[in-house]
């Protein structure tokens, strides 16, 4: 089945919509209370630099070797299947918890308009709505995303431009005031999640036009644009309400300078649409990762089934089912953010390691990729990004409660037990070697390597 691929323009809007989501509305008040109002503007700028460093190794990999499932595919084929297995289970945590974060944040803002409806009901409902949208394939999801992002940017623009004239603290004062470095690190560990999102595109690379070029461009444009917007939004937030410990959400600030009608538009067109664009992207991203792992045998065969719209339907339902289960089990927003942040930071260096192996396994694809950067520079960025991930992760770890540790430890124990018996079952009952399958090169990469070889030979002859 031929799947209609999305363009560079749709990629950029998908990336922006993925970044501007639940995280900025959920984590900005939390980050402000950690670092203080005086550090939040610079915090977003620093966090965006960290996001570039953290995501750049993955961009290098995707530029040379694009594939649905992205990091999982790179780890299993370039490093070792067990590294990919760890990542696949991380994605089960990060993916479902991210969608839960977004759905719970959506419910928080929705309740401001319709206070009588229970938040968990709203969170489950919005998850189901975007699950159904995702089932119609990436092209339909992209169209929905484009419309939502346009309205979203209008709402955030109203907040920034209207709020700027109502600030009681100048931008210079906010930036010049001192802040504690340790608190800044902790806040950045949370804020970086507000700026990560454009990497969703890497996980659906097989469904994007010219992914090796378009994905890096869309990532760069989306991340820079959003970082500047966030910095402006952060200044307005603390500039209007310098007693920042009273900020529970951005609507609390917006009601101080927006008319009732504009406040409703900000909540519905800004906060609510920001959340749904991220839900849309997250379901797209993580379902493709689950699909790739199922294709190798790690998850049941049913998870890799493709529906008539070219979408991995069962994988989408798996992601959403776990999300809904987490929400109705009583997880609150802070628990979800912490559980999501730790695997995303402390285990990121596992993903980055693939960069070291690529020039040895796919040298021609590496040399002819869109991001033509010397290998030693890429390796240096990997080392810096890994160190920063571990540093920020350690600070976020200090914010966690004992129950968060217990849940994460229990999850990895269960994942180990499941993997052991899954490998044994496939080998004994079906004669299928899952580890050997994970080591097999991805067929489109072989074709890409051959084309790159011919291109280099042609240049050499000329």
Q: Which residue has the higher pLDDT, 461 or 353?
A: 353
Give the C-alpha separation, 153 to 220, whole Å.
18
Cα dist from 119 to 1, 116, 254, 341, whole Å: 40, 9, 21, 23
pLDDT given for residue 185 in this prediction? 64
How far apart (Å, rounded) are the C-alpha atoms in residues 88 and 234? 34
| pLDDT tens-place string over residues 280-308 | 777 877 888 889 999 999 999 899 889 98
Whether residue 280 contacts residue 130, with contact meaning beta carbons closer than 8 Å, is answered with yes
Give whole-number Cα distances, 161 to 90, 173, 329, in Å: 39, 19, 40
312 vs 317: CA distance, rounded Å:
9
* Domain count for the chain: 1
Answer yes or no: is 17 within a domain.
Answer: yes
Which one, of 20, 334, 313, 248, lies nearest residue 149 by Cα?
Answer: 20
Q: Residue 38: inside a domain, yes or no?
A: yes
Higher pLDDT, 404 or 364: 364
The Cα–Cα gap between 401 and 335 comes to: 8
**Domain containing residue 113: CATH number:** 1.20.1740.10
Residue showing tokens 């994905």: 215
Of the candidates 287, 323, 304, the residue with the CA atom closest to the CA atom of residue 134: 287
- The tokens describing 343, both together, are 């695997």
Q: Is residue 271 part of a domain?
A: yes
Residues 283 and 305: their CA atoms lie apart, in Å, by: 16
Within a domain: residue 291? yes
Instruction: Look up the pTM and report it.
Output: 0.78
Residue whose token pair is 């989306």:
222
Within-domain flag for 92: yes
Give the model's confidence band at 446: pLDDT under 50 very low, under 70 low, under 90 confident, else very high.
very high
pLDDT digits (tens, 9 = 90+) for 302-358: 998 899 888 889 989 988 888 888 888 776 656 655 565 666 666 677 778 889 999
Considering only CA atoms, give the Rg of the chain: 22
| Banded model confidence at residue 193, pLDDT cuts 50, 70, 90 | low
96 alpha carbon, distance to own chain's centre: 11
**Which residues, listed in sequence order, are joined to residue 208 by a DSSP beta bridge?**
6
Contact 28, 244 (CB under 8 A): no
In a domain, 33, yes or no: yes
Domain extent, residue 301, equals 8-452
Please tell me the distance from the alpha carbon of residue 77 to that of residue 90, in angstroms, as a whole number.
18
Q: How far apart are CA 151 and CA 165, in angstroms?
A: 22
To the nearest whole percent, how much of the chain has pLDDT over 90?
23
Check residue 41 and give its pLDDT: 75
Helix, coil or strand: residue 388: helix
- Cα separation, 385 vs 372, in Å, equals 19
Asked if the structure places residue 1 within a domain, the reply is no
Answer with the residue of higher pLDDT: 378 or 411: 378
Q: Give the tens place of pLDDT for each residue, 206-254.
A: 889 899 999 999 988 888 888 888 888 888 888 888 776 777 777 888 8
Q: Residue 380's CB: how many other CB atoms inside 10 A?
A: 11
The structure tokens 């949370």 sit at 190
> For residue 367, is it within any domain?
yes
């Amino acid at each position: 089945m031929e799947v209609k691929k999305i363009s560079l323009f749709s990629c950029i809007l998908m990336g922006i919509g993925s970044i501007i989501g639940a995280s900025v509305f959920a984590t900005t008040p939390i980050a402000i209370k950690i670092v203080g109002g005086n550090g939040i503007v610079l915090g977003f700028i620093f966090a965006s630099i960290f996001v570039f460093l953290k995501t750049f190794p993955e961009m290098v990999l995707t530029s040379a070797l694009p594939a649905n499932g992205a990091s999982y595919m790179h780890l299993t084929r370039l490093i070792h299947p067990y590294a990919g297995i760890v990542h696949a289970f991380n994605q089960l945590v990060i993916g479902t918890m991210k969608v839960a974060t977004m759905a719970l944040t959506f419910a928080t803002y929705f309740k401001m308009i319709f206070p009588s409806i229970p938040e968990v009901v709203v969170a489950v409902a919005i998850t189901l709505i975007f699950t159904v949208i995702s089932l119609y394939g990436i092209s339909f999801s992209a169209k929905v995303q484009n419309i939502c992002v346009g309205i979203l940017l209008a709402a955030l623009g109203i907040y920034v431009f209207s709020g700027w004239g109502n600030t009681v603290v100048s931008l210079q004062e906010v930036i010049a005031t001192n802040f504690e470095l340790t608190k800044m690190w902790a806040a950045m560990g949370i804020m970086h999640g507000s700026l990560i999102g454009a990497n969703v595109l890497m996980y659906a690379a097989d469904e994007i036009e010219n992914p090796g070029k378009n994905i890096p461009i869309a990532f760069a444009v989306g991340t820079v644009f959003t970082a500047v917007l966030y910095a402006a939004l952060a200044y307005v937030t603390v500039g209007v309400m310098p007693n920042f410990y009273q900020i529970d959400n951005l609507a609390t600030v917006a009601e101080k300078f927006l008319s009732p009608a504009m406040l409703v538009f900000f909540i519905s067109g800004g906060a609510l649409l920001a959340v749904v664009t991220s839900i849309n992207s997250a379901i797209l991203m993580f379902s493709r990762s689950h699909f790739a792992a199922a294709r190798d045998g790690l998850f049941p065969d049913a998870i890799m089934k493709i529906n008539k719209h070219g979408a991995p339907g069962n994988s989408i339902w798996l992601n959403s089912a776990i999300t809904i289960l987490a929400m109705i089990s009583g997880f609150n927003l802070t628990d979800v953010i912490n559980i999501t942040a730790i695997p995303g930071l402390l285990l990121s260096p596992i993903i980055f390691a693939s960069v070291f192996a690529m020039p040895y396994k796919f040298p021609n694809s590496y040399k002819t990729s869109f991001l033509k950067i010397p290998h030693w520079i890429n390796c240096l960025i990997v080392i810096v990004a890994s160190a920063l991930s571990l540093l920020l992760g350690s600070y976020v770890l200090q914010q966690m409660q004992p129950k968060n540790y217990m849940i994460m430890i229990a999850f990895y124990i269960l994942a180990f037990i499941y993997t052991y018996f899954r490998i044994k079952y496939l080998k004994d009952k079906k004669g299928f070697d899952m580890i050997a399958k994970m080591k097999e090169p991805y067929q489109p990469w072989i074709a890409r390597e051959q084309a790159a070889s011919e291109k280099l030979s042609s240049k050499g002859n000329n």
